[in-house]
Structure 1
Amino acid sequence: MILVTGGTGLVGSHLLYKLVSENKQVRAIYRRPHTINRVKHVFSYYNENHKALYDNIEWIKADLNDIPALEKAFKGITYVYHCAAFVSFEPNKYYQLRNVNIEGTANIVNLSISHHIKKLCYVSSVAAIGREANPNQLITEQTEWNPEEDNSVYAITKYGAEMELWRGTQEGVPAVIVNPGIILGPGFWKGGSSGNLFRLIHKGLKYYTTGTSGYVDVWDVCDIMFKLMQSDISNERFIVISENLSFEEFQQKTARALHVKPANKEANWLILEMGWRLDWILCKLFGKRRKLSKQLAKTVRTKTIYDNSKIKNALQMEFNAIDYSIDKVSEFYLKDTKQN
């Protein structure tokens, strides 16, 4: 039987559909009952018989730091997809991020060791990969992480989680790590998911930034995870991105797909520097949630380009074109918006 953590998240919910469609026996972890409805909604995108497919999932309530509940979840499990994570770039959420992303992953690794799991797949992030001094140089899986850089709290904890995975491989658990870029997918239009970008662009963003990052859709991510777990590949990490795009290009493409006007003003260096400082003041004086950290302000104006050749060669595959992915996600967004 397969265990999926983070089953009610973007990757987890689409992965669950992939697994049950492949007639796999699946158990999934959830924390809050109402979040399961998101999975049902994702299933409804794909199949008229989605209710019958959904009913094949065995659900267990468990927190990543609740060892007794996790012990119950691991009974009879042979393969684990660890998709659960806390996504935030707010500096004051550092200890919460550590608790979920590092300590929670350590628990999954420890239980995988004690239960003799055959293979473990971890969903990390390109944020856990190092940066190149030359912005025109491709970042690969071998690019070294520099702990002295001003890394975001999210990146620090995802890197720490990967260290737990590598520890697990040394203690007998074969594992693969996927490092996706910005994951595009439907069903989650608020919060830290990329779906929120579609919602904001649809509402009308005024500013764009010129930084660059890697993008991939959730269908490619899930397909790659499934194929890696079916393969003989182990103890490897893979950058999973389809294309490198500037944030300006992404906004333009998404606005076009959503039939709205794109942002027409650049958030330049001065605006971003003033922005994160004002954001910090509002947090300190009025307790407002951080929306723009110093590290995020730097990221959105920085050019980072990723090399996806390792995973393409390993699985002999090609990614979906990002234009196709944006159009597909936008179609689901507009459909959901109309229904609501």
Structure 2
Amino acid sequence: MILVTGGTGLVGSHLLYRLVSDGQQKVRAIYRRKKTLKRVAHVFSYFSDDAETLFNTIDWVEADLNDIPKLQRAFKGITHVYHCAAFVSFEPDKYHQLRKINIEGTANIVNLCISNAVDKLCYVSSIAAIGHHEDSSKLITEKTTWNPEDDNSVYAITKYGAELEVWRGTQEGLNAIIVNPGIILGAGYWNGGSSGNLFRKIHSGMVYYVKGVVGYVDVFDVVDTMAALMKSSIKNERFILVSENLSFKDFQIKVANELSVNPPKKEAKAWLLSIAWRLDWLRHKITGSRRSFSKHTAKSAVSITKYDNTKIKDALGFLFKPIDQSINEICELYKKDLKRL
């Protein structure tokens, strides 16, 4: 039996659809809040006329990554685990919460995999947990060294810490793989911290663009490579999952064109972003409201980081979906959802 943590998230929901559509093994998934199950059912409805039947084949279990007794029950009869659950935030004051979920939660999953003699674990990390080069023209690979002395974001620090827990598990006999996706593009999650929020904001109208470069990947490319790696004999390896390296500006323009709205026309330069994150910090201190734009967000907006996807293509012979195609497909689903937003 397969266990999926974070089953109600962007990656988890699309992974569950792929797994139950395949129908070869029974699937169990963990959720924290019952209301979030509706999002998964909605994602299923994009791709199947029999979405309800597929959704009902999943054995849903309410559990938290730090609730050991509930997790122990969820692990009963499990042979393979996809650990997709994570907390995504770049707010510095969320560091302890990030550690609790991303590092301690992953340690719990790893420990239960070992104690239950699970055959294989797949952990969904992030390109944020991979090191960077000083030379921005140099491609980042799986071997690029993480530098703990860098000005890393709190999210990156905890994802890297979570990876250490997975590698610790491999030293204790666990077979595991780690995937490091870029910005994951997928439909159904138009609010919050997922990439769907970018589509909604671009549709609403964005004045400014930024010239930073980062890697993008379609959500189905992520889940398909995960499933293929789990079925393969490959173990104790990590893989960058990026289809294309693209500037934020180009991404914004492509989405705007697909949604028939005006693209942003003004460049938000580094000095303007520097003022913006300081004003956001001041607003947070005065009002107590959540941070919406941090120092690290501003830094990444102008950083040029390019990733090499050669390793996964060589390992599986995998062909990534072009980002133009991903944007087109997601925009079509977004337009269908507009009446629900």
Instruction: Give CA deviations for 1:35-75 in whole Å, capped at 9, x if unaligned.
Output: 00000000000111111111110000000000000000000
- SS of 2:216's equivalent? strand
The corresponding residue for 2:211 is 210
**Superposition pairs of residues 230-245 of structure 1, within 5 angstroms:** 230-245=231-246
The corresponding residue for 1:126 is 127
Quote the Cα distance in structure 2 between the aligned partners of 1:339 and 1:14: 20
The corresponding residue for 2:173 is 172
The corresponding residue for 2:42 is 41
Whether 2:285 is the aligned partner of 1:284: answer yes
The corresponding residue for 2:32 is 31
Quote the Cα distance in structure 1 between the aligned partners of 2:270 and 2:38: 41
The corresponding residue for 1:336 is 337
**Superposition pairs of residues 141-180 of structure 1, within 5 angstroms:** 141-180=142-181
- SS of 1:45's equivalent? helix
Per the TM alignment, residue 158 of structure 1 is displaced from its structure 2 partner at its CA by 0.3
TM-score by length of 1: 0.99
Quote the Cα distance in structure 1 between the aligned partners of 2:77 and 2:289: 45
Amino acid at match of 1:54: F
Quote the Cα distance in structure 1 between the aligned partners of 2:238 and 2:214: 19
Instruction: Give CA deviations for 1:126-152 in whole Å, capped at 9, x if unaligned.
Output: 000000010000000000000001100
Quote the Cα distance in structure 2 between the aligned partners of 1:329 and 1:100: 29
Instruction: Give CA deviations for 1:258-291 in whole Å, capped at 9, x if unaligned.
Output: 1111111110011001011111111111112111
Quote the Cα distance in structure 2 between the aligned partners of 1:22 and 1:230: 13
Amino acid at match of 1:250: F
Per the TM alignment, residue 338 of structure 1 is displaced from its structure 2 partner at its CA by 3.0
Instruction: Give CA deviations for 1:279-310 in whole Å, capped at 9, x if unaligned.
Output: 11111111121111111111110100000000
Q: CA RMSD in A?
A: 0.6
The corresponding residue for 1:8 is 8
The corresponding residue for 2:137 is 136
**Superposition pairs of residues 192-231 of structure 1, within 5 angstroms:** 192-231=193-232
Amino acid at match of 1:102: I
Amino acid at match of 1:313: D
- SS of 1:225's equivalent? helix
Per the TM alignment, residue 317 of structure 1 is displaced from its structure 2 partner at its CA by 1.3
Amino acid at match of 1:64: L
Instruction: Give CA deviations for 1:153-183 in whole Å, capped at 9, x if unaligned.
Output: 0000000000000000111110000000000
Quote the Cα distance in structure 2 between the aligned partners of 1:269 and 1:60: 46
Quote the Cα distance in structure 2 between the aligned partners of 1:213 and 1:142: 18
Per the TM alignment, residue 124 of structure 1 is displaced from its structure 2 partner at its CA by 0.3
Alignment coverage as a number of residue pairs: 340
- SS of 2:302's equivalent? coil
- SS of 2:43's equivalent? helix
Give me the identity figure in percent.
Answer: 64
Amino acid at match of 1:7: G
Q: Which runs of 5+ in 2 are unaligned?
A: none
The corresponding residue for 2:18 is 18
Amino acid at match of 1:162: E
Per the TM alignment, residue 339 of structure 1 is displaced from its structure 2 partner at its CA by 4.4
Quote the Cα distance in structure 2 between the aligned partners of 1:38 and 1:109: 27
Quote the Cα distance in structure 2 between the aligned partners of 1:208 and 1:88: 22
- SS of 1:69's equivalent? helix
Amino acid at match of 1:33: K
Amino acid at match of 2:76: K
The corresponding residue for 1:262 is 263
Quote the Cα distance in structure 1 between the aligned partners of 2:292 and 2:333: 26
Quote the Cα distance in structure 1 between the aligned partners of 2:188 and 2:244: 22
Q: Which runs of 5+ in 1 are unaligned?
A: none
- Between 320-329 and 291-300, report the one with greater CA deviation: 291-300
Quote the Cα distance in structure 1 between the aligned partners of 2:151 and 2:293: 15
Per the TM alignment, residue 9 of structure 1 is displaced from its structure 2 partner at its CA by 0.2
Quote the Cα distance in structure 2 between the aligned partners of 1:65 and 1:196: 28
Quote the Cα distance in structure 2 between the aligned partners of 1:123 and 1:89: 18
- SS of 2:174's equivalent? coil
TM-score by length of 2: 0.99
